[in-house]
A and B are shown apart, each in its own frame.
Chain A
Amino acid sequence: MPEPALRADPPIVEIRDLHKSFGPIEVLQGIDLTIGRGEVVCLLGASGSGKSTMLRCINHLEQPDRGFVLVDGMLVGGNVRDGRVHEAAPTEVAERRSRIGMVFQQFNLFPHMTVLDNVTLAPVRVKRVGRAAAQAAARTLLERVGLSAKADAYPGQLSGGQQQRVAIARALAMEPALMLFDEPTSALDPELVGEVLDVMRDLAASGMTMIVVTHEMGFARNVATRAVFLDDGLIVEQGPPEQVIGAPTHDRTRAFLAKVL
């Protein structure tokens, strides 16, 4: 069966009518969002509004109940054949997922491996890069996040800020086309937040496409190309950050900003 002609350069993320429930609670109630290459989108919203769930639908850690998410024109977890969406093979899912980096609030570094092993694990085991080449690339990345000296340390020996920078390097090692950040600085002591945001700012400047869930309004204002405000599983307001954060039009946005600013 001939496939319809594909767009040559699809948006990096295209979310349509995304619904997701956990039991009786509908956490996402129909999200539509399109993100272009190189954009830095800050996702704002109160606790429980569905920000994490939305990020996790993008890399298929959660499966949508209705609607879909396309990343680089592909369904991460499925393939379209004969007018139906068929579950993709685990290897396909893994391959597509590896092009989407994710940074967690709790870092989730592998505690039994050195920093260097954390960063090289996926390139060596998934992309089959030679160990030496992977290590050289990892050292370059560690230098980029300011941690060349810590290559042989274990995560437990690092501060929270250092751990989060390693987590960013680890995600970058797979050369992702898109980076997801879920409250990357929320678990950090205030004095360590800056070093992580600096790394993220550099990453944005290098042209990386980023979706960032954050309560750091300074970062959202200065770095984001767009701010999206989520309330109760729906996008209620979006636009340039100075507009959404500086002059919100929606009551819920105002109420939220009054609390975090």
Chain B
Amino acid sequence: MTTGAAMRVDAEQLAGMADTRLVRRRRIGATLLNVVVALLVVAAVVELVVNPNFDWPIVARYLFDTNVLEGVLVTLELTVYAMVIGLVLGVVLAVLRQSRSGLARGAAWSYIWFFRGTPVLVQVLFWGFAASLFPRVGIGLPGGLFLVSWDTNAVVPIFAAAVLGLGLNEAAYMAEIVRGGLLSVPSGQTEAARTLGLGHAETLRFVILPQAMRVIIPPIGNQVISMLKMTSVVLVIGVADLLGSVTEIYARNYRQIALLLVASIWYLALTTLLTYGQSRLERRFGRGISRLEDDRA
């Protein structure tokens, strides 16, 4: 161990040096980690290229296959519709949970309890089999006395069943996200709006929701991304989404790995796009707050 005095440096010598910035110490651990990671990456790439089971020519052939592209479209549609249902219903549920009516609060709470407490796969299956639960839907009295009615299978085609299953489930999660956002806005904001004569709905729309957005957007972004992937559960009720279309193809040609790669590439491409969109939105709703941070920076 060197003593304090021995570490003293000559100020004149230091002043004469051209560059007094620190030369970084070598960090053995970091170097070792770099080597290991580099080796693993190389091994993985080599394996991907060399292992014939990956079947890249087949991947390339099916990547833009019409059936696959149609599947991509179905997946996107499912995602959009389910998210719209989830978001709208989620906002309603979140507002109901803060309602002055105990019944409304209880109903919203029960909804969330039920739809969060059962697996989405089960819910989608339920909707797929809705026809056997309620063979006819219509207007009338409970217990099956209809004034007008329709065949359930005709009113709720399998695609609609998939959207309902995913959307109603999503609403339960969205409600909690939105509620967290609403609670994050200080109560002084509501009071200020009230004293200006704004009503309940106007306060929510112009004052509370825009501020809640900043808190809500990042988790919603995550929800959209996870929904995009979760849509693949509709396979079980026979909807030809992205995953459905590739399973149909490999059922014929037995190239499972190649076709699952095709699906993965599409899922990755789409989630990458969504991640980019999410960061754009976050910047948009940071107005007023992030601008302050920019100024101070």
Contact = CB atoms under 8 A, between A and B. Distances in A.
A154 B196 contact: no
A110 B292 contact: no
A104 interface: yes
Contact of A110 (B192, B200, B291): B192
Interface stretch (A118-126, A139-147, A235-243): A118-126
A126 B196 CA distance: 8
A130 interface: no
B272 interface: no
B166 to A, nearest CB: 31
B195 A110 contact: no
A154 B291 contact: yes
B194 interface: yes
Contacts of B288: 111-113, 154-156
Interface residues of A, number: 33
Given A94-B199, A95-B197, A156 B291 contact: yes
Contact of B206 (A125, A167, A170): A125
A154 B200 contact: no
A125 B198 contact: yes
Nearest to B191: A61
Contacts of B287: 112, 154
A108 interface: yes
A169 interface: no
A110 B207 contact: yes
A136 to B, nearest CB: 19
Given A110-B207, A154-B287, A170 B295 contact: no
A171 B188 contact: no
Nearest to A180: B195
Contacts of A100: 195
Nearest to B211: A112
A62 B226 CA distance: 44
Contacts of A101: 195
Contact of B191 (A90, A108, A109, A126): A108
For the complex of A and B, 5 pairs with smallest distance between CB atoms: A98-B197, A156-B292, A108-B192, A122-B196, A102-B195
Interface of B: 186, 188-189, 191-200, 202, 206-207, 210-211, 214, 287-289, 291-292, 295
6 contacts: A95-B197, A98-B197, A110-B211, A126-B197, A167-B192, A174-B196
Interface of A: 59, 61, 90-91, 94-95, 97-102, 104, 106, 108-113, 121-122, 125-127, 154-157, 167, 170-171, 174
Given A91-B199, A112-B210, A154-B287, 10 more contacts: A61-B195, A90-B199, A106-B188, A111-B288, A121-B206, A125-B198, A126-B198, A154-B291, A154-B292, A167-B192
